[in-house]
Amino acid sequence: MDIEKEVKKMSLGHEFGAGAACLKCKDKCEGFELHFWRKICRNCKCGLTEHDVHMNTEENKKVGKLFEDTKFTGLIAKLKTDGIPGHQGSMVTITLPSPATAYRLSPTAASDPVRPASSAGAPVGSSPISGQVRPQPAPVSVTPVKADKVPLTASVTKANVEPVPQDAPMKSVTYEWAPPVPNKYLAVRYIQLLPPEKRPVAGTEGAVYRRQQMACQLPEHDQDPSKCHELSPAEVKKMQQYVRKYKQEALGVGDVLLPAEMAHVQAGRQGGDMAGAGAGSRSGGAGAGPASGPKAGQSAGCGPTGGAMGTTATAGAMNSGQELKNFSCHHCKQPMQQGEPAVYAERAGYDKLWHPACFVCCTCHELLVDMIYFWKKGNMYCGRHYGDSEKPRCAGCDELIFSNEYTQAEGQNWHLKHFCCFDCDCILAGETYVMENDKPICRPCYMKNYAVKCSSCQNAVDPEAQRVSYDALHWHAEPRCFKCSGCSKSLIGQRFMVVQSFVFCSVECKKKILN
């Protein structure tokens, strides 16, 4: 019954983004019009992300769908309107003292900067979810919310939080995404360690980069049968099995922590395991957390957590003065700098850590968008390349292939019905085609739109015909076309010279024409 429902509701959402201007083609594109199965614009052949379409709502729904029925409950919430799971928007404005000021917050404190009591009403941060956040006293303790981590508490006293003077300059920056850690200094430092062109600051090329990677790394049609083109019931069933598998075995979200904090948590866990032996069993799969309802996976005043919920659980857990061990990045093997955050991946094990800029896909080497990863056989993948490692991907529609029959051509895989001309969509099985910019083109479309013209007769050169080319000039390899411009002698197999688009057999013939 569920499979029948998926088949019935299949749609590519052709009205979404309709008419949006292309940021790449400008006026050459009449406006975005989604091709009925290629996932590109019918008018300019560019993708949706290259058009001026606001994707926040769609991205939130996509990430919500991705984490549906997983233990990352802090990342999604049921939308009351249509029941579709939706990711709670992560755009946030962080206000911190200007780097020029001498005052700072201890990196292990789990609260925002605290002003003196006389300015208690001044806002220090905002979020589109909760609005302006007013300063609160430093929390007395921070407790983890993850089921398989030993509960720890750590006092945060006045020694951790240094008041910011009322006249200290403050700076606000809006990020389209930031690690959902309660310590805003840690979140900002994480972003500062990314390459400048990849920092998700609103209105910058880094925000555009994140948007593009969200579309590329996490294709909707890799997780939702309703976004695919005409799947059979058998294909829908196989896709649902595939989705369940990666949610159980591979999907995860990174944790941002100071390495010394993680060492402290691990030490506390070992002590707790010894003390609580026999009291219960750990949940290593998609088990439920210790809390349910709207507060599950949240910390006081900070909204939903990211990662494997250790992001809030361990903030402030490091004792001051604890000696740092030598921590090395799992990707580049270079040491971590003292006081700088690292990224951890629960699926990989907490004995491994990454520099923020090194938390990348092993195939495309791009930053894992919003730290969403897929772990398989010791390798870290983005969603797209994890899918490619599991199933063949159709070069026509960009969907994973769940059917038993498909074709291979030009080193790529294709659904049988999708090995078509890129221009007119006619099926190419058994037909002559030409690869143009890695796209198959039928002979009629090639002759009309791509074929070069003979410099002699001005007719298009057939793709299967022999031709002579010199720089941007082309001729049919026939005596009537490739001949001397001076004496009409055939130049097939002869020496020749080209001057001002004329072809000559000798200097004498050149002088006849050009002098």
Task: Calculate mean pLDDT across residues 427-445.
Answer: 89
Q: For residue 137, is pLDDT > 70?
A: no
Q: With beta carbons less than 8 A apart as the criterion, state whether 161 and 114 touch.
A: yes
Q: Which of 163-167, 435-439, 451-455 has the lowest mean pLDDT?
A: 163-167
Q: 54 vs 24, 83, 91, 274, 372, CA distance in Å?
A: 16, 22, 14, 52, 21
pLDDT, residue 415, reads 92
Q: Residue 17: exposed, middle, or buried by beta-carbon count in 10 A (0-12, 13-18, 19+)?
A: buried
Measure the CA–CA gap between 412 and 349, rounded to whole angstroms: 35
Report which residue type is found at 409.
A
Facing residues of 229 across strands? none
Spell out the domains of the chain, with CATH numbers in brackets.
13-54 (no CATH), 180-264+327-415 (2.10.110.10), 420-450 (2.10.110.10), 480-514 (2.10.110.10)
| DSSP code per residue over 50-62 | GBS---HHHHHHH
Record the tokens describing residue 384, joined without a space: 């797209």
Could you identify the residue written with the tokens 């206000």? 95
Q: 80 falls in which pLDDT band (50, 70, 90)?
A: very low
11-34 pLDDT per residue, tens: 444 455 677 888 788 888 878 777
Q: How far, in Å, CA of 255 to CA of 295, rounded? A: 19
Residue (of 95, 262, 58, 250) closest to 184 by Cα position = 95
* 367-411: pLDDT as tens digits: 999 999 999 999 999 999 999 999 999 999 999 999 988 999 888
At 196-248, the pLDDT tens digits run 999 999 999 999 999 899 989 999 999 999 888 889 999 999 999 999 999 99
Residue 350 or residue 267, greater confidence: 350
How far, in Å, CA of 146 to CA of 313, rounded?
A: 7
More confident: 269 or 480: 480
Q: What is the pLDDT of residue 299?
A: 33
Q: Is the CB of residue 23 less than 8 Å from the CB of residue 52?
A: yes
Query: What amino acid occupies position 204?
Result: T
